Amino acid sequence: MSVRVRFAPSPTGFLHVGGGRTALYNYLFARNMGGTFILRSDDTDRARSTTEFQQDILDSVAWLGLDWDEGIEVGGSSESYRQSERLARYQEVAAQLVADGKAYHSFASPEQLDEFRKEAMKEGRSPAYDGRHEPDPGEAAALVAAGEPATVRFAVPRPGTTVFTDVVRDEVTFDHLQVDDFVILRSDGTPTYHLASTVDDVDFGITHVIRGEDLLSSTPKHILLTEAMGAQRATYAHLSLLMGPDGKKLSKRHGHTAIKAYRDEGYLAPAVVNYLALLGWSPGDDETVVDLDEMIRRFDLNAVSKNPAIFDTDKLDWMNGVYIREMNPDQFVASVLDLVEAGLGRSLGEDEQATLVEIAPHVQERAKHLTEVPDQVRFLFSEIEYDESSWQKVMTKEGADVAVSAARDSIAGLESWSVEAVEAALRGMLEAKGLSARKGLQPLRVAISGSSVSPPLFESIVALGKERTLERLSRAHSLQA
């Protein structure tokens, strides 16, 4: 039987990094096995679900490059991949379970349930509700007929246990004393997550359920439901959760958790994917930079780590730099052009774009985030302001004024305008004035870029152009006096 997996987020928030990793592992497993990757929406919580979140999730999964074979926007054998559009089916299943005696109408009030749980905890028992406050079947039927509001609960067989083999955790056992008679249909007739998700998994022929560990203890419910429907249980794989740097559950206070935020911060999707993949899995040898195709080839669900991983952006930052350097130059320019223009607040003319292309390789080598690029190239496209500390550090040093004026003179006389020619002229100047490269060249950097940190000097000068270079050297020199 061919593998079918699904990523089934609830659109109650932006797609966060943990969700992204779950989607990725589903994707890698499906592709590795030649299976089908399905994207569905578990939007049974209509109060909290929004179309904005839904769109964010779709966009984010697509941005990561995880294309899905069936589901929202692409369709498939099911009429809908949104739970909000499949209510009738869930109600049908619930009715059948009641008819089969595997579920029952429940009239217990919230107060009664609350009381029951409190008492159980106080006495050291599991707070799992076992249906003890329900009327007998005959009376229940009468109440339903009379229109008395009721939820539908699944009748968990007790005593009993559910044992299953989790792909990442091996054998897991739950005593049914710990599993309560969970609600499958609310009193307003809508399904709960457990019902909707399980029915979908059965209906869509999901063979492997790969999801977060937070659902591990709900798994007996899903298995019980599946089998009560007369279907075969899926294979489960529960991924450990992602933690913040303090070891606590990852949340907003740890910085960005939304996938989209990483895109906005100048991260490359392949870098994010690579980093996320390594949070709980490794290709086996000592490699850390692995592209998607390679991951697909080597992915093994059995090799996924059981321990929770801390999401620490240091390594992601490094990896992003690696991926930026690996881009081909055209790609790099294309991906920073918008950022540069946005930073400038205007679009670049043709000549300016050529200048950007010229300097791009030198900033590509240095950037960890695409978002750093605008600042690094700004001096080429707009007037500069001298960075105060750079000026103090460099321009007030002995010899700085000599270097700037001598550099101006040597450049002014240049016939050809190339990196080689500029370098030769300036090195000649250093020699003539007896200045070290450090003492003689740093002032020029500040003079033309405004900062003591910039792309390589000779390349920067050439990109700036002769006229503007001379202007800036003159201006700097006049300020030095």
Partner RNA sequence: GCCCCCAUCGUCCAGCGGCCUAGGACUCCGCCCUUUCAAGGCGGCAACGGGGAUUCGAAUUCCCCUGGGGGCGCCA
CB 443 within 8 A of CB 395: yes
| Catalytic site residue from 248, 252, 306, 315 | 252
Q: Scanning residues 128 to 147, which ones bind RNA (CB under 7 A)?
A: 128-129
Q: How far is the CB of 100 from RNA (least distance, A)?
A: 21
Instruction: Indicate the burial class of 325 (C-beta count within 10 angstroms; 0-12, 13-18, 19 or more).
Output: middle
Return the H-helix or E-strand segment holding 174: strand 170-175
Q: How far is the CB of 77 from RNA (least distance, A)?
A: 22
CB 70 within 8 A of CB 36: yes
Q: How far is the CB of 310 from RNA (least distance, A)?
A: 4
User: Which residue, 343 or 456, has its beta carbon nearer to RNA?
Assistant: 456
Residue 63 as a binder of RNA (CB under 7 A): the answer is no
CB 243 within 8 A of CB 18: no
Choose which of 14, 25, 37, 193 interacts with RNA (CB under 7 A). Answer: 193
Give the contact letters, 381-420, x = binds to RNA (CB under 7 A), - = no: ----------------------------------------
Choose which of 174, 299, 386, 391 interacts with RNA (CB under 7 A). Answer: 174
Residue 163 as a binder of RNA (CB under 7 A): the answer is no
Cα(96)–Cα(18) distance, integer angstroms: 36
Cα(358)–Cα(461) distance, integer angstroms: 11
Residue 297 as a binder of RNA (CB under 7 A): the answer is no
Q: How far is the CB of 1 from RNA (least distance, A)?
A: 25
CB atoms within 10 A of CB 248: 11
Residue 252 designated active-site: yes
Choose which of 136, 314, 351, 398 interacts with RNA (CB under 7 A). Answer: 314
User: DSSP letter at 356?
Assistant: H
Residue 44 as a binder of RNA (CB under 7 A): the answer is yes
β-pairing, 103-106 vs 309-310, is unpaired
Q: Would you call 179 helix, strand, or coil by DSSP? A: coil
Q: How far is the CB of 435 from RNA (least distance, A)?
A: 10
Choose one: 276-284, 348-356, 380-388, 472-480; the region binding RNA (CB under 7 A).
276-284
DSSP codes of every residue in 68-128: -SEETTTB-SSS-SBGGG-HHHHHHHHHHHHHTTSEEEE---HHHHHHHHHHHHHTTS---
Residue 182 as a binder of RNA (CB under 7 A): the answer is yes
Residue 424 as a binder of RNA (CB under 7 A): the answer is no
Q: How far is the CB of 82 from RNA (least distance, A)?
A: 12
User: Which residue, 2 or 387, has its beta carbon nearer to RNA?
Assistant: 387
Residue 159 as a binder of RNA (CB under 7 A): the answer is no
Closest CA to 267 of 315, 310, 308, 309: 315
Residue 303 as a binder of RNA (CB under 7 A): the answer is yes
**Side-chain-facing half-sphere of 147: CA atoms under 13 Å:** 0
Choose which of 1, 88, 110, 230 interacts with RNA (CB under 7 A). Answer: 110
Choose which of 34, 124, 147, 159 interacts with RNA (CB under 7 A). Answer: 124
Cα(467)–Cα(255) distance, integer angstroms: 45
Choose one: 300-308, 336-344, 352-360, 469-477; the region binding RNA (CB under 7 A).
300-308
Return the H-helix or E-strand segment holding 409: helix 400-412
User: Which residue, 281 or 351, has its beta carbon nearer to RNA?
Assistant: 281
User: Which residue, 136 or 188, has its beta carbon nearer to RNA?
Assistant: 188
Choose which of 32, 50, 452, 474 interacts with RNA (CB under 7 A). Answer: 452
Q: Would you call 440 helix, strand, or coil by DSSP? A: helix
Cα(27)–Cα(363) distance, integer angstroms: 34
Q: Scanning residues 328 to 357, which ones bind RNA (CB under 7 A)?
A: none
Q: What single-letter amino acid sits at 386?
A: Y
Residues with active-site annotation? 252
